[in-house]
């Protein structure tokens, strides 16, 4: 019964998180006639970036190539997870134009897996089901401190802090970016396994976790660093708990038995970080590191602390209480939080990596466990001398459900009986609670009784409010889809302008796919360059922040399409950079107001034309 409740909750939250996507699919027929429907997740530039990797797997590539740059280069295993998803799609015969389906299905599967990891952590942390449930719901719904936003129609919605960082949105983060979900699952599982005494006693488990550490290092290198810090903190906390038995002659055996199981996986995962360091020491893969340095993610500690919401103070209070009581079961959550806080501070002084990356280490899970622990201790500390509520309504409801469950044939006909029993028992239970409060106030100090009830009512109220916050997130996302469907200008998505691409825009890219080889480099503006690797599989001259020499190339492109470059200089440039095809669409035309590029550069030959796009071949 309890396992079914968690299964239903996990499923419900995944569906809730995917509902904006379902809504967008349901409105696809409302698009303007000249627009092409695509199911973009998050922001289109990065979405296409991930799809380009999946497509390479669909095409049978064994390594990842940077299709967003024109320079010849060898493949690598960076972003290999998306390549693997492409190979999985290839195995089940997914066509290339359904690449996005692989992405979205992986979101669903990984989201459910991560939620189930939260269930398992809650189950280990708490023995009583009620607190397991509270901890799980805290972890799923944890959100920022609210901002109440008045709307034009007179209604009010709930906003929050750092809305631009989707990880802080409790609804969006459930089914977020696949590689981030996968790395969060690995983080949660590794820490869960390495905090279990029974697991670390078996050397075979060390090897298995070592392979997971290597995978984590490949998928999300900051995640590997975080787990290393958390495992180290775990050993420190365990030593402080065992300091009386670990001192003196027992120190070395104790240290070996507690450190070695954690050190072996760390060393097994280290080659992933070494490989990353080597690959990002030369182009084009060096651009991955330079992009973070040249365009650092903004991070303000006060705003981030506000974005962590009520779970931060509750988790800190739970952490203090757990340390005072020397709670061994809370070592996992305590080590998680301390390591996360330390890295947030340390990487403020390391420009190669923004501390904001460590907000992706799912701190809301340990904070929620500690917050639930705080309320559990509060409830226990203020427990009145005698029982508060008669268990009779619970017992009758459970007997009815068990009888129906054991007789499946009668289950359908018994639903009405079950509902009626639940309604009657709920009324009796409410009356029992009210009478219990009045009765206990006469027996115990009023403050003690009220604190006991508040220890249950506050978590329930907080969960209800956070679910309302998630509902507001759904309303904001619904508005975004509605605006996107109505969008008319600019003709193609550019910068922060988001809309569906033109059908002519997509058909021109598909013509390129059918009439060029995959190693052909296409010259275009940045938006076309962002779409071409996904819809045709070709490489482009410029199209993403990970393009080598992005800023310099962007200047060349704008100068070319505006017609300001001398023809002889253009011809030499095109030849030197092996650019034999030019995509001339809406964004390219806006650079200089030119409608016929061949009139400026006579060595360009028209190969394809529709209403909005012309594709030229270089003679």
Predicted confidence band at 424 (pLDDT cuts at 50, 70, 90)?
low
| Residue 436 predicted with pLDDT over 90 | no
pLDDT tens-place string over residues 244-258: 887 777 888 999 999
- Predicted pLDDT of residue 389: 39
Predicted pLDDT at 87: 97
Residue 118 pLDDT exceeds 70:
yes
Are 234 and 332 in contact by the 8 Å Cβ rule? The answer is yes
Residue written as tokens 């490949």?
218
- CB < 8 Å & 24+ apart, contacts of 80-84: 80/218, 81/178, 81/179, 81/182, 81/218, 81/219, 82/50, 82/53, 82/54, 82/57, 82/178, 82/179, 83/53, 83/54, 83/56, 83/57, 84/57
**Spatial separation of the C-alpha atoms in residues 452 and 389, rounded to whole Å:** 13
Q: Could you tell me which residues are beta bridge partners of residue 609?
A: 614
135 burial (CB, 10 Å; 0-12 / 13-18 / 19+) is buried
Q: Give the pLDDT confidence of 3-20 residue by residue, as tens digits.
A: 799 999 999 999 999 999
Residues 14 and 533: their CA atoms lie apart, in Å, by 30
Taking only the tens place, the pLDDT of each residue in 387-423 is 433 445 445 545 554 554 455 555 455 555 555 555 5
* Res. 353 pLDDT band, cuts 50 70 90: confident
Q: Domain map of the chain by residue range? A: 2-111, 177-279, 385-443, 503-618
Residue 379, pLDDT > 90, answer no
> Mind listing the pLDDT tens digit for each residue in 545-584?
889 999 899 999 999 999 999 999 999 999 999 999 999 9
d(CA 277, CA 78): 11
Question: Averaging pLDDT over each range in 69-83, 346-360, 371-385, 447-461, which range is the top one?
Answer: 69-83
Region 291-318 average pLDDT: 89
Between 454 and 141, the higher pLDDT residue: 141
Q: Is the pLDDT of residue 64 over 70?
A: yes
Does 325 or 351 have the greater pLDDT score?
325
Strand-pair category, 614-618 with 581-584: antiparallel
Residue 378 pLDDT greater than 90, yes or no: no
- Residue 548 in 3-state DSSP? coil
519: three-class secondary structure by DSSP: coil
- Is the CB of residue 589 less than 8 Å from the CB of residue 504? no
What value does the mean pLDDT take over residues 69-84? 94
Alpha carbon of residue 85 to chain centroid: 17
Beta-bridged to residue 497, according to DSSP, are 494
Share of the chain above pLDDT 90, in %: 73
Question: For the residues of 373-405, what is the DSSP string, one character each?
Answer: HHHHHHHHHT--SS--S-SHHHHHHHHHHHHHH
Task: Give me the mean pLDDT over the 50-74 stretch.
Answer: 95
CB 112 within 8 A of CB 120: no
Q: What is the DSSP string of 46-104?
A: HHHHHHHHHHHHHTT-SSB--TTS-S----BSTTHHHHHHHHHHHHTT--GGGHHHHHH
Strand partners, 523: 582
Name the residue among 452, 423, 422, 425 with its Cα closest to residue 436. 452
Closest by CA to 353, choosing from 220, 173, 228, 227, is 220
| Average pLDDT score over the chain | 89
More confident residue, 382 or 485: 485
pLDDT recorded at residue 385? 47
């Amino acid at each position: 019964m309890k396992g079914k409740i968690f299964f239903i909750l996990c499923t419900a939250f995944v569906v809730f998180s995917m509902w904006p996507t379902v809504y967008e699919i349901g409105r696809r027929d409302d698009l303007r006639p000249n627009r092409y429907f695509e199911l973009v997740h998050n922001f289109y530039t990065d979405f296409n970036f991930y799809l380009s990797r999946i497509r390479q797997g669909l095409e049978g590539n064994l390594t990842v190539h940077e299709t967003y740059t024109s320079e010849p280069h060898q493949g690598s295993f960076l972003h290999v997870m998306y390549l693997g998803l492409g190979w999985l799609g290839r195995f089940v015969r997914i066509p290339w134009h359904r690449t996005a389906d692989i992405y979205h299905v992986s979101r669903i599967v990984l989201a459910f897996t991560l939620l189930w990891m939260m269930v398992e952590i809650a189950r280990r942390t708490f023995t009583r089901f009620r607190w397991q449930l509270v901890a799980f719901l805290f972890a799923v719904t944890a959100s920022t401190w609210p901002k109440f936003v008045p709307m034009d129609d007179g209604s009010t919605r709930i906003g929050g802090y750092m809305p631009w960082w989707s990880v802080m949105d409790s609804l969006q983060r459930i089914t977020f970016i696949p590689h981030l979900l996968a790395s969060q699952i690995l983080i949660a599982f590794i820490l869960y396994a390495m905090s279990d005494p029974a697991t670390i006693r078996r050397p075979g488990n060390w090897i298995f976790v070592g392979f997971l550490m290597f995978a984590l290092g490949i998928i999300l290198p900051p995640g590997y660093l975080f787990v290393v810090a958390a495992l180290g903190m775990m050993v420190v906390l365990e030593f402080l708990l065992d300091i009386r038995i670990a001192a003196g002659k027992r120190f070395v055996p104790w240290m070996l038995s507690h450190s070695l199981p954690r050190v072996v996986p760390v060393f097994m995962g280290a080659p992933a970080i070494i490989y990353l360091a080597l690959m990002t020491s030369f182009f084009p893969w060096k651009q991955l590191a330079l992009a973070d340095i040249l365009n650092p993610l903004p991070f303000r500690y006060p705003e981030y602390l506000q974005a962590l919401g009520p779970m931060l103070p509750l988790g800190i209070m739970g952490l203090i209480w757990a340390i005072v009581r020397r709670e061994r079961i809370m070592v996992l959550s305590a080590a998680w939080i301390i390591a996360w806080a330390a890295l947030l501070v340390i990487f403020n002084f390391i420009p190669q990596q923004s501390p904001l990356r460590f907000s992706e280490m799912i701190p809301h899970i340990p904070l929620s466990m500690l917050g639930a622990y705080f309320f559990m201790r509060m409830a226990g500390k203020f427990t009145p001398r005698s029982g508060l509520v008669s268990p009779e309504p619970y017992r009758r409801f459970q007997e009815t459900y068990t009888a129906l469950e054991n007789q499946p044939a009668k289950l359908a006909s018994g639903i009405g009986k079950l509902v009626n029993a639940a309604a009657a028992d709920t009324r009796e239970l409410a009356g029992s609670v009210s009478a219990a409060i009045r009765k206990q106030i006469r027996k115990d100090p009023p403050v003690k009784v009220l604190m006991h009830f508040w220890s249950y009512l506050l978590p329930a109220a907080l969960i209800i409010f956070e679910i309302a916050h998630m509902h507001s997130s759904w309303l904001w996302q619904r508005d975004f889809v509605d605006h996107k469907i109505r969008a008319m200008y600019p003709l193609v998505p550019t910068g922060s302008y988001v809309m569906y691409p033109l059908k002519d825009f997509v058909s021109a890219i598909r013509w390129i796919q059918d009439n060029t080889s995959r190693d052909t480099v296409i010259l275009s503006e940045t938006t076309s360059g962002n779409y071409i690797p996904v819809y045709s599989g070709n490489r482009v001259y410029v199209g993403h922040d990970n393009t080598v020499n992005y800023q310099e190339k962007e200047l060349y492109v704008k100068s070319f399409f505006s017609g300001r470059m001398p023809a002889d200089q253009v011809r030499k440039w095109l030849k030197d950079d092996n650019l034999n095809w030019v995509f001339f669409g809406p964004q390219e035309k806006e650079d200089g107001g030119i409608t016929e590029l061949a009139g400026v550069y006579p060595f360009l030959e028209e190969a394809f034309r529709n209403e909005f796009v012309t594709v030229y071949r270089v003679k």
